Chains A and B, each alone.
Chain A
Amino acid sequence: MIDNGLPEGWELVVGLEVHVELATKTKLFSGSPNRFGDEPNTNIDPVTLGLPGALPVLNQHAVELAMRIGLALNCTVKPSTFHRKNYFYPDLSKAYQITQYDEPLNVDGFLMLPGGVRIGVERAHMEEDTGKSTHFGGAGGRIHGSDYSLIDFNRAGVPLVEIVSHPDVRTAEQARQYVNELRAILVAVGASDAKMEEGSMRCDANVSVRKYGAELGTRCEIKNVNSVRSLGKAIEYEARRQIDVLETGGTIRQETRHWDETDGRTHTLRAKVDANDYRYFLEPDLVMLAPDAEWVERVRAALPVLPAARRTNLAILTGAEEDSEAIAVVVERGQDTYIEEVKNSGGDAGRALVWVQQSFAEEGNTPRLPAKDLAALTVLERDGKLTATQAKTVLGDMLEAGGGDPAAIAASKGFEALDTSVIEGFVDEGIAAQPDAWAKYCAGEEKAMGALVGTIMKLSKGKADGKVVTAILQQRRNG
């Protein structure tokens, strides 16, 4: 039984619905720009505003991106249709959302979590986004009790894909992994920038609990989760809330709940007493979308290597653990091919991984620094010609200049790795200067080593290799 952090005997069941905005130039059904952050109501056209007489025409690139998502999630791409989902809301310009209903484009896929858990993907369908309401007055911009709202339709009609998982997620950590992995895939296939903070990726969680082996419990849908961290916290909170209700003899009401970041709780948003009747029917202004095998195969053939395979490759190349943070971060930034280049230029891939993870956050997938220069730096380090601290300084200069010969830079700074016999001398001086710390360290207090190393590094004016100092100290204590 996996540890889900819940009281003994309780199982957590979570399904995730993720909406992603597609990286197209224009809207799903019209030619106004799909662009975040513009002045309100500047990206509008008759279709976006739902003007009388306007008609939708499907964006081919949006379809291709949706197919990329489906194929990357191992879905079957099939003939599909669009429906109207009818409801009144001021940011829904036509009073219906065009969405794929009973015949979605992508069905029956799955996503493998880095740990090897398989999460089924029920469907990944296309639909249009709504505009944006901002509430004014009342209690600080909340919907309830506001005085009025202002509507911006720039986002209306932006193409979305909604990815609906099976309720296969069993822990909050798996939910976090799912969203992280999904985001990595979406970015890798170029379908979306998938930024939760900007709303281009939005995640709802259907949470229920049950005793192991029991029927599925009643679920609540959790909305307004704005980061992967909050997703985990919201699921954990909601699961405990439901268990508390059930253990005190209550029942769970099926409802939509709102995650409140400030108090760390979920709150009832809308009880489904008067269940919404969306009066779905086939959108008569659109025709069937049925990509033929040739089109599907063309899209499949153009898919890049996906993050999971890239992580495996990078782990093999660098010798790092496949599920390590460094591997995940570097693959997510798309810098794994760069590390391959460093290796091909004769560099040390393991050291390159460390530097790229630590210092290349701003560099993107094509760093300014030529791979051969980083290769040269990792060779100096591996051969003991530079300490890690010195290498970091040299790398800083190289990044600033956009390249350079690390040996020459090191020489100009007077860097050379100190001989072990010289370091032994500094160690002697250091122990003499810190007799108490030495005694504690010898008594097995590992923390005391910090003070010793610090003193010794200071005495060597930073030229001693920290790793060598540590090794000598350990050797002396044990010896």
Chain B
Amino acid sequence: MSERLSAADVAKVARMARLNISAADVERYTQQLDGMLDHFADIDNLQLADVQPMTQPFPLVNVLRADVEQPCLDREEVLNAAPAAEQGRFRVPPSGGEDE
């Protein structure tokens, strides 16, 4: 097995993806993902410099909607389905210091 990615990479990716995984799981995922990346190296030797990336199968342009109001969801129904809500709003724990 090559070392395409390290356990530290996987731990970082898990943090970025907000997945709290154990050290043992980091090891296991590192092995599995490394194996996959090895397999995915089959495209490394393709000549792709002049190839346009393809992001959508059916290219459409200017799909637009009129600026017309549509009915809203019922607030009580939505908040009742939320893990925590009060004063008509969704309640969350304090931000741990990170802010956007």
Contacts and interface: CB of A to CB of B under 8 A. Distances in A.
B25 to A, nearest CB: 20
A31 B75 contact: no
A152 B92 CA distance: 11
A97 to B, nearest CB: 9
Contacts of B90: 41, 90, 150-151, 153
Interface string B58-100: 0111111111111111010011000000111111111101111
Given A25-B69, A58-B65, A90-B90, 9 more contacts: A25-B67, A32-B69, A32-B70, A59-B67, A89-B99, A137-B94, A151-B89, A277-B16, A289-B61
B17 to A, nearest CB: 9
Nearest to B63: A287
Interface pairs A-B: 7 shortest CB-CB: A31-B70, A61-B67, A150-B89, A60-B64, A151-B90, A287-B60, A40-B88
B20 interface: no
Interface string A147-188: 111111100000000000000000000000000000000000
A40 B89 contact: yes
B18 interface: yes
Given A40-B87, A90-B92, A152-B89, A59 B65 contact: yes
Contact of B18 (A88, A137, A282): A88
B86 A150 contact: yes
A270 B99 contact: yes
B87 A149 contact: no
Contacts, number: 133
A153 B65 CA distance: 21
Interface stretch (A138-146, A321-329, A454-462): A138-146
A58 B94 contact: no
A92 interface: yes
A153 B79 CA distance: 12
Interface of B: 16, 18, 55-56, 59-73, 75, 78-79, 86-95, 97-100
B68 A25 contact: yes
Contact of B93 (A44, A148, A152, A291): A148
Contact of A151 (B66, B68, B70, B92): B92
Contact of A41 (B64, B70, B78, B92): B78
Nearest to A295: B62
B58 to A, nearest CB: 9
A61 B66 CA distance: 7
Contacts of B65: 31, 57-60
Nearest to B56: A284
Interface string A327-370: 00000000000000000000000000000000000000000000
A199 interface: no
A39 interface: yes
Nearest to B17: A88
Nearest to A64: B67
